[in-house]
Homo-oligomer: A and B are copies of this chain.
Amino acid sequence: MLKLTKKADYGLMALKYLAEHPETPALSAKDVADAYGIPAQLLAKILQRLTKTGLLRSQAGINGGYALARDARQISAYEVILAIDGPFFITSCTKGAHGCELTPSCTIKEPLARVNETIAGVLKSISIHDLVEQEHPPQGGDKKGLVSLTV
């Protein structure tokens, strides 16, 4: 409930791993999968998807693999999740398309849509680079990426 899918998690982990190895021109799906002990074929599919959405660049053939398409700072967690799991809405009813015709009396969705935006905002404010940074977390009064919005 209200949690990332494993695929999205894997995706983030992989991107982070790639961000940590900027020297290497490309890392194969297997390399990354082995590093974290996640199913290679599954990760492969995930990376393929990320490639299709433009977050990664791929190279087939020997010594091929994947590399970030942009700087780690320019890739937000939001993009990754979006690419892997598709658009997400906290409310069950999509609202945008045709509303919740079944339960027209329910007005819960409106305020919840804001929660949704808030979450999206937070996710957008986190970049892959941030994930790498916080590897060694105990830094003091850090304050970048301040999120502030009214509910």
Contacts and interface: CB of A to CB of B under 8 A. Distances in A.
Contacts of A13: 103, 106, 108
Contacts of A2: 2-4, 81, 85, 88, 90, 119
Interface in A115-142: 115, 118-119, 122-123, 125-126, 130-131, 134-135, 137, 142
Nearest to A4: B90
Contacts of A36: 103, 105-106
User: How many of chain A's residues touch chain B, expressed as a range?
Assistant: 35 or more
A75 interface: no
A92 to B, nearest CB: 5
Interface stretch (A22-30, A60-68, A143-151): A143-151
Given A112-B4, A145-B150, A147-B149, A107 B90 contact: no
A1 interface: yes
A111 interface: yes
A110 interface: yes
Interface in A38-91: 38, 77, 81, 85-86, 88-91
A86 B2 CA distance: 11
Given A2-B4, A3-B91, A147-B147, 16 more contacts: A2-B2, A2-B81, A2-B88, A2-B119, A3-B88, A3-B92, A9-B108, A13-B106, A77-B115, A107-B131, A108-B131, A111-B126, A115-B122, A118-B147, A119-B119, A148-B149
